[in-house]
Structure 1
Amino acid sequence: MSDMTETPKSARTRLLPLAVIAVVAVAGALTLRDVLSFEALRENREALLAFRDANYAGTVAAFILAYVAIVAFSLPGATVATLTGGFLFATFPGALYNITGATIGAVAIFLAARWGLGERLAARMEASDGMVKRIKDGIDENQWSMLFLIRLVPAVPFFVANLVPAFVGVPLWRFAVTTFLGIIPGAVVYTSVGAGLGAVFERGETPDLGILFEPHVLGPILGLCALSALPIVLKAVRGRKGV
């Protein structure tokens, strides 16, 4: 059914997943901030380790499902969840579990956004002209580079990087691949911090989450950002020469 003939009921049905996500996100922000926190992890660390030792496979499954829910519903605690992955499972395979949960959650919110608004917004942008059409064309011509870039740049919020591709018609498989690969650097860094939480807890300290912005960590990530942006720059240069 086209946008022109879509009934109000079908429009509401399309928006239902986004509405549910919004309601759960607000409720989570109000009720879960103290539950999904570093202090909660500190207080429950022994119970978590005991449960992991008694049922490793179940712990992995529960952890990934919890991470999916945190990302899919934009709940607070994504950073704490990443640290928990390192604390429970070490840097590897903890990073793999973190990346898997984050990717599945990102795909879920991407699909909800695309089904609710994305397809219609993309179609309208494609049918428009002027600046809006040029922006859409620019994204389409550089999808791989742009998708990797928004994942690698630390300043881009994760939920923004999930929603924008849905609104400009990015294919699902391309979104999933670039999400999985693009979040690896940051996930590995924070998972490694989580892997050292045992010693941090013993000293009564708080983990240094600013490590991502230290030169020896940020430098390689910015290098990957530059590599992702290179095709966009080359296309722009070639386009100017061809004018």
Structure 2
Amino acid sequence: MQSKSVQKIALVLALSALVGAFFLFDLGQYFSLDYIKDSQQRFQSLYTEKTVTVIAVYMGVYILVTSLSLPGAVIMTLVGGALFGLAVGTVVVSFASTIGATLACFVSRFVLQDWVQRRFGQRLVAVNQGIEREGAFYLFTLRLVPLFPFWMINLVMGLTRMKLRTFFWVSQVGMLPGTLVYVNAGRELGRIDSLGGILSPGLIFSFVLLGIFPLATKKIMVWYRLRQNKLYPDVPE
């Protein structure tokens, strides 16, 4: 028992050190569009020469950022689209984001449960009710309709009874449409080499998708729930 306590304290200290280093050394500057755009040519050359290594490093950084709930996941997704293209970028980002989210859920459940309980206790009540009512489909809805930041969902889900493997595959499927939209936007951003490129049809369409995707998915989920209520009126909400 004492050994587990020591391990938990050591893990908390390690996580705190990583998060502290991120802000202390201003590592967030490397997760900006300006930095990515300035470094794009260098990244592309490196990717061409060492494809597997670049993908592995990219996934490692993405998983670390997501598992520690650090800012930068959106930029990393856009970078994935600009660097790898739509098909490869979607696959790489999908698995990296899901692995990172699952690790964040794991850390919340076994290390940070007291802090998460204090910080998001009110959210937890609603989430538990949603899971009790709809099961894994509730998480699927949260992934499709971004009512809450994904990092918050990862942490709060850690305090529920949902199995980690269920959390993983539901997150993988639920985040896939959004991942596809953002990777495509990143691919279009990566093609800009002048101010005129900002007005390209592909980029404009990508940003339109970014805007309408949350609204469209929300409407679809509302329609689905209304349809379910009509088909099964005796099922409690």
Assess same fold via TM > 0.5. Answer: yes
* Aligned partners of 2:15 and 2:68 also within 8 Å: yes
Deviation sequence 1:104-128 (CA, Å, 0-9, x none): 1111111111112559x99xxxxxx
| TM-score after normalising by structure 1 | 0.76
Change (3 A) 1:34 1:55: same
Distance 1:105 1:226, change over 3 A: same
Please say if 1:44 is aligned against 2:39: yes
Q: Does 1:140 align with 2:118?
A: no
Partner of 2:169: 177
Residues 69-84 of structure 1 correspond to what in structure 2 (within 5 A)? 69-84=64-79
TM-score (norm 2): 0.78
* Residue equivalent to 1:99: 94
Q: Report Cα offsets for 1:37-71 as digits up to 9, x if no partner.
A: 11110111111000011111111111111111110
Match of 1:214 among 211, 214, 218: 211
1:150 aligns with 2:142: yes
> Which ranges of structure 1 fall in alignment gaps of 5 or more residues?
1-5, 123-131
CA contact (8 A) 1:86 1:94 kept: yes
Q: 1:136 to 1:161 in 2, by over 3 A?
A: closer
Matched length:
224
Sort the Cα spacing of 1:14 and 1:225 in 2 relative to 1 into closer, same or farther, 3 A.
Answer: farther
- 8 Å contact 2:229–2:235 — kept in the other structure? no
Residue deviations 1:50-100 (CA, integer Å, cap 9, x gap): 001111111111111111111011222111110111111111111110111
Q: Using a 3 Å threshold, how does the CA distance of structure 1 residues 133 and 72 change in structure 2: closer, same or farther? A: closer
- Relative to structure 1, the CA distance from residue 239 to residue 12 in structure 2 (aligned partners, 3 Å threshold; closer, same or farther) is farther
Instruction: State whether structure 2 residue 107 is matched by structure 1 residue 112.
Output: yes
Assess if the C-alpha contact under 8 Å between 1:85 and 1:94 holds in 2: yes
State the partner residue of 2:8. 14
Deviation at 1:190, TM superposition (A): 0.7
Match of 2:19 in 1: 25
Distance 1:45 1:12, change over 3 A: same
AA aligned opposite 1:25? V
| RMSD, aligned CA | 3.5
1:197 aligns with 2:197: no
Q: 1:188 to 1:29 in 2, by over 3 A?
A: farther
Q: Which runs of 5+ in 2 are unaligned?
A: 118-123
Percent of paired sites with the same residue:
22
Counterpart AA for 1:13 = Q
